[in-house]
Amino acid sequence: MSPRVDFQHEFQYRDLGLDSFPALDVTLIGPQGEEDLIAIIDTGARYCLFSGLRAVGVGLDLEAGRRELLGGLAGTLTAWIHQVELEILGARFQCEVAFSDQHIPRELLGRHTLFDQIRIGFREGISTGYFHPLR
């Protein structure tokens, strides 16, 4: 018998200028502020990665985080790891996320501390994603 997986939410890929992506709108919740953004779901990324410019706005001291070098297709970048809360489709998740200290053209939802709290599925042919918070 084939395995069956249930999801609470179905979403359309998000348009981000040139193309549509399996992306979700995310609220980044820091100690002193909140900000919404749209992040691409990247199952190959270790961390959720956001622009370091957002840190101040949500009340984080960027360089007070844990420093890590992250490798990507275009080389390495320095990132600072912080504990924040992410709100996605109405559910909240405590996560360790990375803030880049250099410009990044896209922001990502990666695996570390997030993917073990959610279930995700994709149907590329109809540009549809599936999301389920594990509780």
Q: How far is the CB of 52 from another protein (least distance, A)?
A: 10
Q: Could you tell me if 64 and 86 are in contact, meaning their C-beta atoms sit under 8 angstroms apart?
A: no
Task: Tell me which stretch binds another protein (CB under 8 A): 60-68, 86-94, 111-119.
Answer: 86-94
- Report the 10 Å Cβ neighbour count for 124: 9
Helix (H, G, I), strand (E, B) or coil at 55: helix
Establish if 108 lies at the interface with another protein (CB under 8 A): yes
Establish if 17 lies at the interface with another protein (CB under 8 A): yes
Q: Could you tell me if 25 and 37 are in contact, meaning their C-beta atoms sit under 8 angstroms apart?
A: yes
For residues 129 and 131, give the distance between their C-alpha atoms in angstroms, rounded to a whole number.
7
Long-range CB pairs of 56-61 (<8 Å, 24+ gap) are 57/30, 57/33, 58/28, 58/29, 58/30, 58/31, 58/32, 58/33, 58/34, 58/84, 59/30, 59/31, 59/32, 59/33, 60/30, 60/31, 60/84, 60/99
Q: Which of 2, 90, 116, 124 touches another protein (CB under 8 A)? A: 90
Record the tokens describing residue 84, joined without a space.
């924040």
Spell out, one character per residue from 27 to 56, where the chain touches another protein: x when CB under 8 A holds, - when not. x------xxxxx-x-x-xx---x-x-xx--
Establish if 91 lies at the interface with another protein (CB under 8 A): yes
Q: How far is the CB of 73 from another protein (least distance, A)?
A: 5
Q: Which of 19, 32, 69, 124 touches another protein (CB under 8 A)? A: 19
Q: Which of 105, 116, 124, 126 touches another protein (CB under 8 A)? A: 105
Q: How far is the CB of 59 from another protein (least distance, A)?
A: 13
Q: Kindly list the residues in this chain that would bind another protein in the complex (CB under 8 A).
A: 6-12, 14-19, 21, 24-25, 27, 34-38, 40, 42, 44-45, 49, 51, 53-54, 57, 70, 72-74, 77, 89-91, 100, 104-108
